Amino acid sequence: MKSAVIFRLLFILVILLDCSVLSVHLTSNVYARDVNETNSQSSYHYYKQFIDHNDKSCGTFSQRFLINSTYYKPGGPIFLNTPGEGAIDLKIVEASGVSEIVASFNGLLITIEHRYYGESYPPIKNLNTPNMKYLTVNQALADFAEFIKNPPTDVIECPKDAKWIFVGGSYSGNLATWMRQKFPKLVFAAWASSAPLLSKINFFEYDQGVAHALPCRDRVADAFKNFIDPILLSGNRTEIAALKSQFGLDVLDDDQDFASAISHPISLMVQTYFPPTSPSEIDTIPTFCAAFAQAPDNKSETSALILAQVTKFFLNVSGIITPDAIKANFATSALNTSVVPNDLVSFLYQLQNHQNKGELDPWKSLTVSGSNFRTISRNKVFLIKNGSHVNDLRFPTSVDSDSLKCARNFIRNTLAEWLCVKCATDVSGFIKCQVEEELM
Ligand X SMILES: *[C@@H]1O[C@H](CO)[C@@H](O)[C@H](O)[C@H]1NC(C)=O
The residues facing 111 across adjacent strands are 66, 81
Eight-class DSSP state of 79: E
Closest to ligand X by CB, 249 vs 285, is 285
Nearest distance, CB of residue 56 and ligand X, angstroms = 28
Binding residues with ligand X: total (CB under 6 A): 27
Residue 346 in the binding site for ligand X (CB under 6 A)? no
Q: How many helices (H) and strands (E) does the chain have?
A: 15, 8
Nearest distance, CB of residue 8 and ligand X, angstroms = 13
Q: Using CA atoms, how far apart are residues 197 and 174, in angstroms rounded to an integer?
A: 6
DSSP secondary structure string for all residues of 266-287: HHHHHHT----SSTTS--HHHH
Nearest distance, CB of residue 254 and ligand X, angstroms = 13
Residue 38 in the binding site for ligand X (CB under 6 A)? yes
Closest to ligand X by CB, 54 vs 70, is 70
Binding map of ligand X across residues 223-252, x = CB under 6 A, - = no contact: -------------x-xx-------------
* Largest Cα–Cα separation, the chain: 75
Residue 438's Cβ-count burial label (10 Å; 0-12, 13-18, 19+) is middle
Residue 285 in the binding site for ligand X (CB under 6 A)? yes
Closest CA to 69 of 106, 113, 27: 106
Member of 80, 93, 158, 307 binding ligand X (CB under 6 A): 93
Member of 54, 56, 58, 70 binding ligand X (CB under 6 A): 70
Q: Give the pairing type, strands 108-112 and 11-15.
A: unpaired
Among positions 99-158, residues that touch ligand X (CB under 6 A) are 99
Q: Using CA atoms, how far apart are residues 166 and 175, in angstroms rounded to an integer?
A: 8
Residue nearest to ligand X (CB): 39
Whether 168 and 81 have beta carbons less than 8 Å apart is answered as: yes
Residue 339 in the binding site for ligand X (CB under 6 A)? yes
Closest to ligand X by CB, 191 vs 227, is 227
Residue 270 in the binding site for ligand X (CB under 6 A)? no
Residue 172 in the binding site for ligand X (CB under 6 A)? no
Closest CA to 14 of 253, 201, 168, 191: 191
Among positions 367-396, residues that touch ligand X (CB under 6 A) are 386
| Cα–chain center distance at 143 | 20
Closest to ligand X by CB, 236 vs 350, is 236
Q: Using CA atoms, how far apart are residues 142 and 213, in angstroms rounded to an integer?
A: 38
Nearest distance, CB of residue 161 and ligand X, angstroms = 24
At residue 104's C-alpha, the angle toward residues 405 and 143, to 5°, is 100
Closest to ligand X by CB, 79 vs 134, is 79
Q: Which part of the chain contacts ligand X (CB under 6 A), choosing from 34-42, 204-212, 361-369, 414-422?
A: 34-42
**Residues forming the site for ligand X (CB under 6 A):** 36, 38-39, 41, 43, 66, 68, 70, 90, 93-94, 99, 218-219, 222, 236, 238-239, 285-286, 298, 316, 321, 336, 338-339, 386
